[in-house]
C-alpha cells in the first residue's frame, strides 16, 4: 500500500492514491504533486475527510466577499467546490451559485449540507472541463479554493482556456493558493499535500489573462497541521 499522504492519526484517514508522482527536484517549489495518469480525487473523499476539507470557511475568501468588491448576488461559479463550505456561504449571501466538483462523494456531502441548511444552489457532479464544454454560460464571478495551485502544474494552458470561457469583460476571478514562502521539506510535501506557488508566478500566469486587483499574503487551512499554511489570496478582474 502506498502511503503518500499522512495526516494526524485522529482523523483516521489513509490515502492511497496510485498515480500520484511526487517530484521534489526543485527545492523552492518541492510540492509537485503531479498526476501521472487519471487522478482519482474521489478516492480522497471515499477514504475519509481529505486534509483540505476542514469544514471551515477560509477567512481570506470571506474577507474578499465582505469587502463588497464583487457585485452582490451576481452569477458565480466555484471550480472544485469539494464538500461545499464556500458555496453554501455564497448562497447564504444570495449569490446565484453554481458549484462543480468531479468527486461524487464530495458532491454528496455538499448536497447534504445544502439540504440541512435549506439552501438552494446548483451543485454539479462533473469534470469542470466537460462542464464548461457543455455549458456556454459566463459568470460574473468565478473562484477556486486550492484548485489553480494544483491544475497549473499539469494543465495551465487548459485552465487559462477554461477561465476565459467562463468569464466575460468585467468578471472577477479569485483563487486561494498555497504560498512558496512555506519552506517544505520533501517529507512535509508528502504529509501536507499542499502545492505551493510564488507570488511572481501567479502574477505572470494569471496576470496574462486578468488585471490584478490584489495578490496578498493570506492563509489556507488544512487538517494536516494545526496552524494554517501561508497562502496567496488573489483577486483579478477581466478587462
Ligand X SMILES: C[S@@+](CC[C@H](N)C(=O)[O-])C[C@H]1O[C@@H](n2cnc3c(N)ncnc32)[C@H](O)[C@@H]1O
**Strands 122-125 and 96-101, bridge-based pairing:** parallel
Task: Examine residue 140 and tell whether it contacts ligand X (CB under 6 A).
Answer: no
Task: Examine residue 128 and tell whether it contacts ligand X (CB under 6 A).
Answer: yes
The Cα–Cα gap between 23 and 130 comes to: 28
> According to CB under 6 A, which one of 29, 60, 101, 140 is a site residue for ligand X?
101
Task: Examine residue 146 and tell whether it contacts ligand X (CB under 6 A).
Answer: yes
To ligand X, the closest distance from the beta carbon of 218 in angstroms equals 13
Query: Residue 86 in 3-state DSSP?
Result: helix
- Contact segment (CB under 6 A) with ligand X among 96-104, 111-119, 134-142, 158-166 equals 96-104
Query: Residue 219 in 3-state DSSP?
Result: strand
Residue 145: other Cβ atoms inside 10 A: 26
To ligand X, the closest distance from the beta carbon of 169 in angstroms equals 25
Nearer to ligand X, 91 or 103 (CB): 103
Task: Examine residue 80 and tell whether it contacts ligand X (CB under 6 A).
Answer: yes
Task: Examine residue 148 and tell whether it contacts ligand X (CB under 6 A).
Answer: no
Task: Examine residue 159 and tell whether it contacts ligand X (CB under 6 A).
Answer: no
Q: What is the DSSP string of 119-185?
A: ---EEEES-HHHHHHH-----SEEEEESSHHHHHHHHHHHHHHHHHHH--TT-EEEEEEEBTTS---
Task: Examine residue 215 and tell whether it contacts ligand X (CB under 6 A).
Answer: no
**End-to-end CA separation in angstroms for the chain:** 49
Q: Which residue number places its CB atom closest to ligand X?
A: 80
Q: Rule CB under 6 A: which residues touch ligand X? A: 41, 52-53, 80-82, 100-103, 106, 127-129, 145-147
Amino acid at each position: 500500500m502506498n502511503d503518500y499522504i499522512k495526516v494526524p492519526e485522529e482523523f483516521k484517514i489513509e490515502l492511497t492514491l496510485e498515480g500520484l508522482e511526487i517530484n521534489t527536484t526543485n527545492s523552492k517549489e518541492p510540492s509537485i504533486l503531479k498526476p501521472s495518469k487519471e487522478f482519482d480525487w474521489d478516492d480522497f473523499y471515499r477514504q475519509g475527510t481529505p486534509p483540505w476539507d476542514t469544514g471551515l470557511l477560509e477567512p481570506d475568501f470571506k474577507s474578499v466577499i465582505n469587502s463588497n468588491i464583487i457585485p452582490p448576488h451576481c452569477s458565480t461559479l466555484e471550480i472544485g467546490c469539494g464538500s461545499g463550505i464556500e458555496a453554501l456561504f455564497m448562497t447564504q449571501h444570495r449569490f446565484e451559485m453554481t458549484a462543480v466538483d468531479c468527486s461524487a462523494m464530495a458532491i454528496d456531502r455538499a448536497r447534504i449540507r445544502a439540504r440541512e441548511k435549506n439552501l438552494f444552489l446548483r451543485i454539479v457532479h462533473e469534470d469542470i472541463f466537460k462542464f464548461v464544454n457543455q455549458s456556454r454560460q459566463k459568470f460574473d464571478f468565478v473562484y477556486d479554493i486550492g484548485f489553480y495551485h494544483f491544475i497549473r502544474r499539469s494543465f495551465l494552458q487548459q485552465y487559462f482556456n477554461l477561465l476565459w470561457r467562463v468569464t466575460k469583460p468585467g468578471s472577477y476571478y479569485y483563487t486561494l493558493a498555497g504560498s512558496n514562502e512555506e519552506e517544505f521539506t520533501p517529507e512535509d510535501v508528502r504529509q501536507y499535500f499542499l502545492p505551493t506557488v510564488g507570488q511572481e508566478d501567479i502574477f505572470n500566469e494569471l496576470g496574462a489573462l486578468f488585471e490584478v486587483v490584489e495578490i496578498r499574503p493570506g492563509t489556507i487551512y488544512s487538517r494536516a497541521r494545526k496552524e494554517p499554511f501561508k497562502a496567496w489570496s488573489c483577486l483579478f478582474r477581466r478587462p
